[in-house]
Amino acid sequence: MLANHIGHYSLVMGLMASILIFLLSLKSYKLKTIDKRIFSISFLQLFFVLISFTSLVICFVISDFSNETVFNNSHTQKPIFYKISGTWGNHEGSLLLWLLVLTLFLILFLINSKKELKRYRILTITFQQIIIIGFFLFVLITSNPFNYLFPRPIEGLGLNPILQDPALAIHPPILYVGYVGSSLIFSATLAAVIENYISKDWAKNIKIWILISWVFLTIGIMVGSIWAYYELGWGGFWFWDPVENVSLMPWICLTALLHCVLVLEKRELLKSWTIILSIATFTLSMCGTFLVRSGILNSVHTFANDPSRGIFILCFLFFLITISLIIFFIFNKEKQKDYKKIYFFSKEVSILVNNWFLMYFLSVVLIGTLYPIFLEVLIDHKISVGPPFYNKLIVPFLIFFLIFMSLGPNLKWIKETNVKNKFQLIIFFFISLIISLLIYKKIGQTNLINTALIAASLYLFIVTIKDFFSKELYNFSKKISHFGFSLLILSILLNGILSSEAIINLKVGEKFTFKNEKIFFKSIENNKKENYQSVVGYFTVEDDKKNIFLFKPELRIYDQPAVITSEADIKTTLFRDKFLVMNTIKGNEYFNVRYQVKPFMIWIWISTLLLAIGGFLSLYNRLHEK
């Protein structure tokens, strides 16, 4: 109970500190100097939010069910690890974590920007405080994690068991760092526009925050995909679920922004486009917050329906977008005389073309996510938009995107004049096309679009490998990320084309044959665990080489709340995953068994990790240079 009160009043004190910082920032901007009290109060603000967050963690650990958030999302039998991670595994706690990261990022900006223009720093602090104050009000008015229950309940309702997983425990904090990074990019961009500071120097500084946001968002999406793969029991890593799309859209926008800032840094071009992308990235992050927390979306990992929360975020988002657009149209100083000549065969044009492709992909995902919502609101008709929609609209354009991505890094800035090595790229393309045709001939299929797509992805893969043997070692981080992306696309395509699946109902002692493999359902075993009962199935899979694999998929029957989950057993090698999961059939001694062979699955995770490593190395180089 004491921790509950401390947490609540710490939030109130944090809000007061935010208002004070905002007022001091406005005063400092008028006086053209930075009030030293801003630094000390910012640390005090972070301290109050940290105390509040720690108090909520304590409430979860000691199972203080007088706290409504703890009552709704925990129970006494839950393991201590999931009690702690349950702090941010709900709407109220996740917003408090978001607020903690927001205030931490402000401190990091204050420390990291000491050599930058004073008025730019002050304005960045001012805009960031507007966002922080908005989140403080959102938490205290609609989503207070410290609401008091009386009389105190004896037991809590528990957390959804599929969320009780190590991967999902670390997924939200990593993802929030990516989202919150976009807020600082937004604030810094608006400040730079007002101060006419959109320049090479600004590009070098803002790229650090773009890289931080991009790296953490990449890792966060990867961890969520891994969780979806083994926990949901569907054998997939991406389902075009609306909440998955919500995290993908800011990532696409950040990727475009990261490359656009390169052009700004090298040639001081695309200033307005850089500003638009910075605003759009944060807007998409906030839109994601609105969609997830308003209850509009129907997803396995959305939060409870509460229209008041959605209305608050929508109004706050509208306010921020309005401010940003007013600032953009009034203060943006890019004029016709600032434009420089651009040659078609140049690196900056290739980046611009790839930006167009990324914006098209972003538009498809945005329409596929929002269209069903608007349709339901307008005519009360529910539809679902799934993989066929995205595949038909994205795949044809992905072919040209991959080809442009293969050629772009091999062009020079300003103008490409040396065509001596370009014949090598043409040869690589024909090699890729021949390999693609051989792959389809081997699997006995003919599909023009898929053949071209495999050829384009192989082309990018070969070119990115070739880049490692060039003399330009200073761009090693870029080469790793581009190679990681090429490996990711190739792995996903081969996985989708070569995957196979069998679904059958079996009882103990039965077997079935799938292609060249024999699956035998040997036995089941019942166990009692800390907070659930376990039913383990024992299966053997014998391949055509007489190799025998033992699979032990599991059904978990949780007591609080009463939910049955399926735990897949996965055998992973460098070339394929063998995936087996079982489910109960009510009133029957049979079990529904799903067996899948998923080629190159591990390379999807490795390639995503390479993407993030490349971004991290680039970030390290930037910080080292600075």
Per-residue pLDDT tens digits for 192-212:
999 999 988 899 899 999 999
pLDDT at 336: 45
Percent residues over pLDDT 70 in the chain: 92
Domains of the chain by residue range: 1-151, 160-417, 500-602
pLDDT band of 307, cuts 50, 70, 90: low
Helix (H) or strand (E) holding 58, with range, is helix 37-61
514 beta partners: 517
CA 269 to chain centre: 29
Mean pLDDT of 31-54: 91
Percent residues over pLDDT 90 in the chain: 43
Q: What is the pLDDT of residues 312-347, one digit of tens each?
A: 888 888 899 999 999 999 988 765 445 566 766 778
pLDDT at 261: 93
Sign of the dihedral through C-alpha 242, 243, 244, 250? positive
| Alpha carbon distance 75, 80 (integer Å) | 10
Q: Dihedral, CA atoms, 548, 552, 553, 558, nearest 10 degrees? A: 180
Mean pLDDT of 15-43: 90
Instruction: Assign 148 to helix, strand or coil.
Output: strand
Mean pLDDT of 5-34: 91
CA proximity to 612, closest of 173, 181, 177, 212: 212
Q: For the ranges 341-355, 383-397, 475-489, which has the lowest average pLDDT?
A: 341-355
| Alpha carbon distance 587, 582 (integer Å) | 16
Are the CB atoms for 376 and 442 separated by under 8 Å? no
Mean pLDDT of 107-131: 91
| Alpha carbon distance 269, 200 (integer Å) | 9
Q: What is the DSSP letter of 67?
A: B
| Alpha carbon distance 294, 288 (integer Å) | 10
Q: What is the pLDDT of residues 389-436, one digit of tens each?
A: 999 999 999 999 999 898 888 777 776 666 555 677 888 888 888 888
Sign of the dihedral through C-alpha 293, 298, 300, 305? positive
pLDDT at 624: 76
Helix (H) or strand (E) holding 7, with range, is helix 2-31
Structure tokens at 269: 């071009």
The overall longest dimension of the chain from CA atoms, in Å, is 83
Q: Dihedral, CA atoms, 108, 112, 114, 116, nearest 10 degrees? A: -120
First to last CA, the chain: 47
Q: What is the pLDDT of residues 135-194, one digit of tens each?
A: 999 999 988 899 988 888 888 887 777 777 888 888 888 988 998 889 999 999 999 999
583 beta partners: 592
| Alpha carbon distance 175, 498 (integer Å) | 31
Q: Please list, residue by residue across 18-57, b when 16 or more beta carbons sit within 10 angstroms of its beta carbon and e when fewer do.
A: bebbbebbeebbeeeebbeebeebbebbbebbebbbbbbb
Q: What is the pLDDT of residues 112-121, one digit of tens each?
A: 888 888 899 9
Are the CB atoms for 501 and 235 separated by under 8 Å? yes
Q: How many CB atoms lie within 10 A of CB 441?
A: 11
Are the CB atoms for 525 and 535 separated by under 8 Å? yes
